Amino acid sequence: MPGNTSPRQNRSVAAGAAVVLVGALTFGVVSMTGDRGDRDTARPAGASAGPSTKPPTSPSASPSASRSDETAQLPDMARREAADPRAKGRPDAPVVMIEYADFQCPFCGKFARDTEPELAGYIQDGTLRIEWRDFPIFGKESEAAARAGYAAGRQGRFWEFHDAAFAKDRKRNSGAFTEPKLVEMARRAGVPDLARFRADMNGREAAKAVQRDTDEGYDLGVPSTPAFIINKRPFLGAQPLGTFKAAIEKAR
Bridge partners (DSSP) listed for residue 240: none
Predicted pLDDT at 74: 87
Q: What is the pTM of this model?
A: 0.78
Task: Tell me if the bond preceding 2 is cis, omega within 30° of 0.
Answer: no
Mean pLDDT across the stretch 226-247?
96
Q: Which helix (H) or strand (E) holds 196?
A: helix 194-201
Least confident segment among 40-44, 86-90, 145-149, 234-238: 40-44
CB atoms within 10 A of CB 12: 22
- Position 130 pLDDT exceeds 80: yes
Residues in the chain: 252
Predicted pLDDT at 59: 27
Q: pLDDT digits over 12-26, tens only?
A: 323 222 333 433 334
Predicted pLDDT at 180: 98
Top-confidence residue, 164 or 47? 164
Contact between 175 and 181 under an 8 Å Cβ cutoff? The reply is yes
- Position 126 pLDDT exceeds 50: yes
Structural domains of the chain, ranges and CATH numbers in brackets: 10-69+86-251 (3.40.30.10)
Q: Confidence class of residue 71 from pLDDT cuts 50, 70 and 90?
A: low
- Position 27 pLDDT exceeds 60: no
